[in-house]
Copies of this chain bind each other. A is one copy, B any other.
Amino acid sequence: MKILIIEDDKNLSSELFNLLLSAGYTPLILQDYSKALEEIKNTNPDLILMDINIPYTNGEILLNEIRKTMNTPVIMLTSRNNETDEVISMSYGADDYITKPYNPTILLLRINAVFKRMENPSNITKYENMIVNIKKGTISNKQKEIILTKNEMIIFTHLLSHKGQIVTRDELITDLWGLGEYINDNALTVNISRLRTKLSDLGINNKLETRKGQGYILL
């Protein structure tokens, strides 16, 4: 399990490094923002531990960037014990946060808990301002809850797990109907259309784009 530490304070990062190492993880350290995104894509860590206050940017912005293209869990290290940081972290899509100074055991427990939540192909994911409840078969925002049919959910979760990446029509067709039988291509188109309508009911528009000749992409 690779854990990427993004932290400029060298004392702290090496402490973390040792802690994680002794707990059986493979820690990696990044000191600053500049190469972060690239590095994340290269190393593809299982979890990111990020100081909210890193040089040349702040955690929120980086978190935002990360969330555009991947779902790697992120735990924020917040310096102050204030609500604002917590709220910011969580609302920007962090999976948990820890206030410094942190308790090593607690940190490990939290990491564990995040992994647990990951394993559990989890009931609940977030997208934009929506909650995607796979086991319940719904997507919702604060106002409404909308039930997706089986096909719609298959398409949506597939796109969501490849957020920011083009997904070919063939991939979706295989996911929907398997390899065997021939299905009219248009069936997918229609299902995409139906999904778009339901997303639109929750105010999500123009997020499921067509890339002609290539496939679809969820932004």
Chain A residues within CB distance 8 Å of chain B: 52-53, 58, 60, 79-80, 84-85, 87-88, 91, 96, 103, 105-106, 108-110, 112-113, 116, 123, 133, 135-137, 147, 149-150, 164-166, 211-214, 217
A-B contact pairs, 26 of them (CB 8 A): A52-B109, A58-B105, A58-B108, A58-B109, A60-B109, A79-B103, A79-B106, A80-B106, A84-B96, A84-B109, A84-B110, A84-B113, A87-B113, A88-B112, A123-B165, A135-B166, A136-B165, A136-B166, A136-B217, A137-B166, A137-B211, A137-B214, A147-B211, A149-B213, A150-B213, A150-B214
Which residue of B is nearest A58, CB measured? Answer: B105
* Chain B contacts for A123, CB-based, 8 A: 165
- Number of copies of this protein chain within its complex: 2
Across the interface, name the chain B residue whose C-beta is closest to A109: B88
Q: In the complex, which residue of chain B has the Cβ closest to the Cβ of A209?
A: B147
